[in-house]
Amino acid sequence: MPKGKGNEIAKNRRASHDYFIEDTYEAGIVLQGTEIKSIRAGRINIKDSHARIDRGEVKLINLHIATYEQGNRYNHDPTRTRKLLLHRKEIDKLIGLTQQQGYALVPLKIYIKNGVAKVLLGLGKGKKKYDKREDLKRKQMKRDVDRAIKDNMR
């Protein structure tokens, strides 16, 4: 199965708007208690989250997983920092790449694969304002062309 395929739970649509995604990495998430139940229920928000390498470990910061209703005292902190599981070679490669100016690790989507929660990380280079405007123009032109073709087909 290709990377990023599976039972998709959440997708970060802002990532492709704010970054040029150059490479992707699949990572496992270290969860505790009732977090997997909330993820499977789709109560997750990855819009404002990002990943950072700290002392040789990749950590996912500001990922919001809502508390589980039936979790009572075993519930978790919704925005705690979560460790990501990657191979050592991948982490070493990412350390070198993220130290370059303008690169960031951005979660693109969260999905369930073989019963385990995974995150697809993208190595992104930040877009400038003029790049974003150019992308919007390109999308609008494509929409106009598709609409014209569809109208001609009728």
Q: What is the pLDDT of residues 57-76, one digit of tens each?
A: 999 999 888 888 777 777 77
Higher pLDDT: 102 or 90? It is 90
Flag whether 66 is in a domain: yes
Q: What is the pLDDT of residues 4-41, one digit of tens each?
A: 456 889 898 888 888 888 889 999 999 887 888 888 88
Please list, residue by residue across 28-62, b when 16 or more beta carbons sit within 10 angstroms of its beta carbon and e when fewer do. ebebeebbbebbeeebbbbeebbbebeeeebbbbb
- Write down the pLDDT at residue 5: 55
Flag whether 92 is in a domain: yes
Q: Provide the number of structural domains found in the chain.
A: 1
* Distance, CA of 3 to CA of 28 (rounded, Å): 12
Q: Which residues contact 91 (CB under 8 A, 6 or more apart)?
A: 53, 56, 57, 58
Flag whether 73 is in a domain: yes
Question: What percent of the chain is modeled with pLDDT above 70?
Answer: 96
- Write down the pLDDT at residue 1: 39
Which CATH number do you get for residue 93?
2.40.280.10
Higher pLDDT: 88 or 3? It is 88
